[in-house]
Amino acid sequence: MPNRGQLLSDASCTPADISYPNDLGLLNQARVVSEEIIDTLYKTVRKKLKKKPKTYRKLARKNYLKVAKKRRPRKKERRNALKKQLQYIRRNLEHIEQLIQAGAYLERLSSAQYKKLLVITEVYRQQQWMYQNKSQRIDDRIVSISQPHIRPIVRGKAGTPVEFGAKVLVSCIDKYAFLYRVSWDNFNESVDLKEQIEAYKNYTGFYPESVHVDKIYRTRENRAYCKERGIRMSGPRLGRPPANVSILQKNLALEDERIRNRIEGKFGISKRRYGLNRVMAKLPHTSETVIAMTFLVMNLETLLRQVFCVFWSYFLENYKFLTSNINYNYEWTIFNKNSSLFFQT
């Protein structure tokens, strides 16, 4: 069976509704959460303990604002501020362990507070490791206390080099966008090209005639896979570019880029018109549901537009036929009246 159709594939990031994270602000939030947990646990053992554990919250906030309000703090000042916030959090976590040993029940904490307790413990571990090793990177880095599942997605584009949200892989077939993969961790989208082509065959019954993708998909393995199945992959071949390029090849490359712009337009529409530029859901499964529903609504709108075009073309054809019959009958009646008057005279 000959290949038919075109497959477009690309990946993008759907930013979540969080403030732009920085280490100092994240530690300050973790410190505030730990202080609230200490207040809740102390109420349960107030009779056993005479004094409430000291948290130095006023001094800690003063030290935080001293650096956070500066437009461009020096590296040494920022590092000293991080050290102080880490010390406050370490002291608060030790107080929480002491309260638990004194008889405080973790059941008194709400589910949100218990979840945040686990999150701030991991945040303290990550930030302490980065501080000691003077590093700005760590695996599975937490950038939000309320949404710990969000990871930084490095894009390397102008204006937004790093985005924070879910990375989506989308296939576009006949103006319809299909959500293929949603991940909160960064991934290489070129690995999934084979599965996308097989999914295209299961959906249509044949392989695509051409695959339109960007540079990251054009690996040797993917090119060999497409060549075995008679699929043309867009873009120049690997290796040194040829010295002379024919006009036909230039026009073909330009047409491939025009076709690939369709999926870029799908991402633009989903973010400008349907709110994927900022996903307001807070939980990971609800965020994934919002993303999937967005592409579902986009496809329904495309289907509705096509049905409307068919209906409108059918209506215009019938309208032209009816108007032509009405004009013909009207002209025939006028001719009959004129002819009768002529014979009477």
Domain ranges of the chain: 6-15+150-300, 23-133
Quickly tell me which residue has 């990971």 as its tokens. Answer: 284
Q: How far apart are CA 225 and CA 217, in angstroms?
A: 12
Instruction: Report H helices in 102-159.
Output: 111-133
pTM for the structure as a whole: 0.83
pLDDT tens for the 345 residues of the chain, in order: 788 889 999 999 999 999 888 999 999 999 999 999 999 999 888 878 878 888 899 999 999 999 999 989 999 999 999 999 999 999 999 999 999 888 888 888 889 999 999 999 999 999 999 999 999 889 899 999 999 999 998 876 767 788 999 999 999 998 899 999 999 998 998 999 999 999 999 988 899 999 999 888 999 999 999 999 999 998 888 778 777 878 888 888 888 889 889 999 999 999 999 999 999 999 999 999 999 999 999 999 999 988 888 888 877 777 665 566 555 454 445 445 444 443 344
Does 3.10.330.20 match the CATH number of domain 6-15+150-300?
no
CB 273 within 8 A of CB 150: no
Name residues whose C-beta falls within 8 Å of residue 44's C-beta, 6 or more positions apart in sequence. Answer: 103, 104, 105, 108
